[in-house]
Amino acid sequence: MAAGLSIVPGLGHFYLGEWRKGLFFLLGCGGLEFLGFDLDLTLIGDALGIPMGVGGFGMWAYSVWDAYRLARDRDRLTAHA
């Protein structure tokens, strides 16, 4: 569900209660697209630890994967509790 909601950047993180990450991805992807900085931001991505080799698309793809990973890890923790 979280990965599906991440079609809109950050929405999957909001669903999981990760408000800061969700806001970061929403503003980051939206800002890159709005300002026209959808370029190769590899240096910035390296500094932040986010693979942004293709700009906004890379950040969006990472956001979907991260939301899926967070949801999967939470499911595993609740299954063993």
Alpha-carbon radius of gyration of the chain? 13
Residue type, 15: Y
Beta strands in the chain (DSSP E): none
* CB 13 within 8 Å of CB 7: no
Q: What percent of the chain has pLDDT over 90?
A: 37
Domain region containing 47: 2-80
Does the pLDDT of residue 61 top 70, yes or no?
yes
Global pTM reads: 0.71
How far apart CA 79 and CA 72 sit, in angstroms, is: 11
Q: How many structural domains comprise the chain?
A: 1
